[in-house]
Amino acid sequence: MSTKTKSGLLPILIIGGIVIATTQTDIGQEVLDLIGIGESEAGGILVPPAFRDRVKECAPEQLTKDRRCEDLPVVPIDAEKMPHIARHISMAWSSGQSALLHYEVDQKTRDANNRAVCTPARLAELKPLSCDEYPFKSAKEGGAGASTQGVPIIEQNRQGGAIGRAYTVNQLQDGDEFLVVIINPDKIATGEFEG
């Protein structure tokens, strides 16, 4: 089995220092071995190391069902359903974007955040893919400086549903913090979407 190092996934995990958890796949175990994390330490959730302690007591199933870990609201991104969005988020984390974000309630600000990075020129460049931004436009950290990447429209729709459910379940108010986590990290896409 070959590992695609040009995809950015392996270097992201090493350079970004991201903690990853996987199931018993060959590539997943190779990654765990390479960064020195045993399966029992991992737990099935991908978060940057600075936030690992905030979710270490919570199982992926709980995060998906409850959209929270104890008192911390969580937006779970399921890499099995959104492999390219999960890839984009992990890449954004490795470039310095935070996993801990703050809710932006104002729709005008959200729209401005989106327009700041998903410009007409960027949309044309990514076409026919959807412009995914991280941090999300619905986060105070969104807008100028956010990372963008082209993703399949169906994944963008799934992400919108996942984010919206997490906000609703947690009854977030303006400025409330929430943590973005990746569930099923062994399913993260190993390269850009090619159609």
Please check whether residue 71 lies inside any domain of the structure: yes
**Cα-to-chain-centroid distance, residue 74:** 11
Q: What is the mean pLDDT of the chain?
A: 82
Q: Where are the beta strands (DSSP E) in the chain?
A: 45-46, 68-69, 72-78, 100-102, 130-134, 147-151, 177-183
Residue 193's pLDDT is what? Answer: 87
Is the model's pLDDT at 30 over the cut of 50? no
Decide which of 38 and 122 is more confident.
122
Q: Would you say residue 37 lies in a domain?
A: no
**Using CA atoms, how far apart are residues 3 and 23, in angstroms rounded to an integer?**
17
Instruction: Judge whether residue 15 has pLDDT over 80.
Output: no
What pLDDT score does 194 carry? 82
In a domain, 6, yes or no: no
**pLDDT band of 57, cuts 50, 70, 90:** confident
Q: Provide the pLDDT for residue 29.
A: 41
Q: So what's the pLDDT on residue 110? A: 97
| Cβ neighbours, 10 Å, residue 189 | 22
Position 182 in a domain:
yes
150-171 average pLDDT score = 96
- Copy the structure tokens of residue 98: 């935070």
C-beta atoms surrounding 74 within 10 Å: 27
The answer to whether position 78 is within a domain reads: yes
Q: Is 51 inside any structural domain?
A: yes
36 has pLDDT over 50: no
Best CA proximity match to 92, nearest among 63, 36, 132: 132
Cis peptide bond prior to 135, omega within 30° of 0: yes
pLDDT higher than threshold 50 for residue 117: yes
Q: Which domain holds residue 163?
A: 45-187
pLDDT number for residue 188: 95
pLDDT at 152: 97
Any domain includes 195: no
Domain count, the chain: 1
pLDDT at 44 (0 to 100): 85
Domain for residue 7, yes or no?
Answer: no
What confidence score (pLDDT) does residue 62 get? 87
Higher pLDDT, 8 or 98: 98
Q: What is the mean pLDDT of residues 39-51?
A: 70
The pTM is what?
Answer: 0.78
